[in-house]
Structures are given as C-alpha cells and as structure tokens.
Amino acid sequence: MSKTFYYHSEQDDLIDSADQDYTLPDDYQVFKQGIGFKIWNAVVRTLACAFAWLYSRLFLLVKVKGKDKIKPFKQQKKGYFIYGNHTQMLGDPFTPMTIVNPYRFYTLAAQANWGIPFLGKFVIPVAGLPVGKNLKQSIRLLKDVKTAYRDKGAAVIIYPEAHLWPYYTKIRPFPATSLNFPVSLKAPCFTMTTTYQKCKWRQRPKITVYIDGPFYPDPSLGKKQAQEALAHQVYQTMVDRSKLSDYDFNSYVKIDGKNSDD
C-alpha cells in the first residue's frame, strides 16, 4: 500500500493533477456577486464540510490539538492566516474545514487544481484563491487575499511547500516570501502541522494535527527582514511539531544525493 518516491530536490512536484497545465483566464473572479452564487456557495460549503468531517475523522483518523488557539479569532470574525505542510491530496483541502469556520475560509491553490474533474469545477472555485501565473493574476491574488482577510474575516490557508508529498513526515524548506501576506497586512498567522502515528489495526497511519500561534510580524523590521523572521518562526515551529511523527508510511529517496532522512 505504501510507495517509494524518488526526487532530485525538495522542490520537485511528485504528484500530477488531471490537467497539470490548466490555466484560468486573467479576468477570473473569486468573489462573484448575486444571490444565486451566495446560495450555491452556502450549499457547497455545507456539503463539503459534512464530507470533511466524515473523511478526516473516520478515514484519515485525524485528531486536532490546539483548536482553542484560533477560537477568539473565529468568535470575533477576524481574519488570520494558517500555514500547513502539504501531505494529503484530499485531506489538505478538506480537513481545515473541521478546524476553522467552514463558511469563512479560503485556500491558496495552484491553478492546476481547477482542472481536476468535478472538484475543480464545483468545489474548489467556492473557496480557492488561484496562485497567479503572470503579473496581472498575481496582482489580483493580492487583492483577493486582502478581501478574504479584511472584508470576509476569513481564515486563509497556505501550504508554503507548494507541492504535495504524500505522508511525508518532515518539513520542506519554503521561501520567506511565503509570509508576504501576513507581513503586508500586519496579520496574525498560525501553523497547522500534520504528523503521522502508527495505527494498531491498519497499515495506513493515523494523523495528529497541531495548531500553534498566533505569530505576528515584527513591526520594527523592514518588510524583507520581517518576512524572514516570521518565516523562520513558522518553519521552526512546524519542524519541532513534525518530530512527533513516529511512522514513515511512504519512502522518499533522493536520486542524486543524500537521502532526505539522513
């Protein structure tokens, strides 16, 4: 059931989506107007949330620790950012719905996700913020993130490792620019670290997700330095939590250098 993955660098994309080169038009809108879209939005989120609870708790065996840390923000309807390690194909899109308010959350995602059959057409457009492929799209993403954070009071989920590595138990390096949004918006952020533990009655491991934070950008630093400081804090927190994994379900072997576990 487990699998061995071979890679050159920790930035390799090991899993391809159904349409890896899918591209959205430059005028694509995340926040559509009209009563029809609002109804559709509520229906999809409700159904997705029901699936998320069943899938994450009954199939993935997810246990979440630290949800109380984001409770004040949820109650006050204030926006915040959550950074997680990208290790679950379906779990990463759906498990956050069992942690944050499912009607006030958005996730940064590569445009290839919009090319996934069914999910890309009906589910992802409701809560997905597409990462830009050109300057115009990148500017729109910045505006959309501001809208989600400030106007919607939403949780914005970001997987800074970018690429999915299934059941990987370590934290891959990510650029300091991944923390651009909380630094620019002077916003709080949390970490959501997925760890894996051996299950007594099946080969596939159970999951414990740890929520830590809030972390804030240092206002005394310039933007670049603040990004670097916050990125280090977020990364180190996730690394420390990842050490609570005690079961490697999949194997990862570097084909032109040292094994990542060395």
Strands (E), the chain: 4-7, 62-65, 80-84, 105-109, 128-130, 155-158, 189-197, 206-215, 251-254
As a 3-state breakdown, the chain gives helix, strand, coil percent values, each rounded to 5, of 40, 20, 45
Q: What is the pTM of this model?
A: 0.95
Strands (E), 159-241: 189-197, 206-215
Q: In whole angstroms, how large is the CA radius of gyration of the chain?
A: 18
- Per-residue pLDDT tens for 203-221? 999 999 999 999 999 999 9
Looking at residue 258, its pLDDT comes to: 62
Is the confidence at residue 190, as pLDDT, over 80?
yes
Label residue 259 by pLDDT band (50, 70, 90).
Answer: low
Is the confidence at residue 15, as pLDDT, over 90?
no
Is the confidence at residue 261, as pLDDT, over 70?
no
Domains of the chain are 3-254 (3.40.1130.10)
- Per-residue pLDDT tens for 61-103? 999 999 999 999 999 999 999 999 999 999 999 999 999 999 9
Looking at residue 1, its pLDDT comes to: 75
Give percent of the chain above pLDDT 90.
88
Q: Mean of the per-residue pLDDT values for the chain?
A: 94
- Per-residue pLDDT tens for 25-38? 998 999 988 999 99
**Strand 206-215 with 62-65, pairing:** parallel
Label residue 121 by pLDDT band (50, 70, 90).
Answer: confident
Label residue 235 by pLDDT band (50, 70, 90).
Answer: very high
Looking at residue 222, its pLDDT comes to: 97
Looking at residue 118, its pLDDT comes to: 84
97 exposed, middle or buried (CB, 10 Å; 0-12, 13-18, 19+)?
buried
Looking at residue 126, its pLDDT comes to: 94
Closest CA to 124 of 240, 17, 237: 17
Label residue 192 by pLDDT band (50, 70, 90).
Answer: very high
